[in-house]
Amino acid sequence: MAPAPASRIAVVTGASSGIGAATARQLAEAGYRVVLTARRKDRIEALAEELTKAGHSATAYPLDVTDRTAVDEFATAFQTIGVLVNNAGGALGADPVATGDPADWRTMYETNVIGTLNVTQALLPKLVASGDGVIVVVSSTAGHGTYEGGAGYVAAKHGSHVLAETLRLEIVGQPVRVIEIAPGMVKTDEFALTRFAGDEAKAAKVYAGVPDPLTADDVAETITWAVTRPSHVNVDLLVLRPRAQASNTKVHREL
């Protein structure tokens, strides 16, 4: 892969763990100057230090994507940006619609949709100014179909999907690609654990008997591939699942 010009900056949100951290690593390896953002300062600083020691360019910037004032302040640090990966987000709970907690629904909408909206709005002029910008929205297969117990997360991820699709229509003609990556079952350290409020048994059940769920690296590789296509090639939407998952509700388990 040809290294990106040194001036190319890639901002990754939710870079403290999982898909975000893996994507920051792989974009750094592809030659981007990566800016890692997340709420957990210690984690992104440690990763930035590790990448810098390995000879890459990486900086950490603690940021809560739902805090618009902080996001606007963050944006002033740049004149141009090449790549924005909107990865911050996540799921809370797996309750049916009948009993789901409205507070969880609100939080999921805030992080998955408004967080993406905040960062995208704040950085869009810098992406246009680069003359060749890329916006990635990491949505989910939950943004393309529902499943029982998916409720609030499914609703929020449909919002992320629609944001990406609508933005692509609205900015056509400007030098910015809008790419949506929709992963299915990805086994990371935190996704299921967060969803089930730290209940390890419930989190483990999500992946029980599934021969090979996707890894954060699988998704990061896909994001990096899509970003590094030639400028005129827009990967609108890429859905990826493990081979053992045929749909949101059809999963092969060897139990």
Nearest distance, CB of residue 41 and ligand 8X3, angstroms:
25
Q: Which is nearer to ligand 8X3, 130 or 140 (CB)?
A: 140
Nearest distance, CB of residue 53 and ligand 8X3, angstroms:
32
The b-or-e profile of 37-58 (16+ CB within 10 A means b, else e) is bbeeeebbbebbeebeeeebbb
CA-CA-CA-CA torsion sign (232, 226, 131, 143) = positive
Q: Which is nearer to ligand 8X3, 8 or 187 (CB)?
A: 187
User: Can you give the binding site for ligand 8X3, defined by CB under 6 A?
Assistant: 140-142, 150, 153, 184-185, 248
Nearest distance, CB of residue 94 and ligand 8X3, angstroms:
9
Q: Which is nearer to ligand 8X3, 142 or 203 (CB)?
A: 142
Asked if 21 contacts 15 with a C-beta cutoff of 8 angstroms, the reply is: yes
Query: Closest residue (Cβ) to ligand 8X3?
Result: 140
Nearest distance, CB of residue 183 and ligand 8X3, angstroms:
6
Nearest distance, CB of residue 185 and ligand 8X3, angstroms:
6
Q: Which is nearer to ligand 8X3, 85 or 142 (CB)?
A: 142
Q: Which is nearer to ligand 8X3, 60 or 142 (CB)?
A: 142
What distance in Å separates the CA atoms of residue 119 and residue 130, rounded to the nearest whole number?
Answer: 16
Tokens 């929709």 belong to residue: 182
What distance in Å separates the CA atoms of residue 164 and residue 161, rounded to the nearest whole number?
Answer: 5
What distance in Å separates the CA atoms of residue 248 and residue 32, rounded to the nearest whole number?
Answer: 34
Tokens 């089930």 belong to residue: 196
Residue 178: how many other CB atoms lie within 10 Å: 25
What distance in Å separates the CA atoms of residue 152 and residue 107, rounded to the nearest whole number?
Answer: 9
Question: Which are the catalytic amino acids?
Answer: 153
Tokens 């799921």 belong to residue: 91
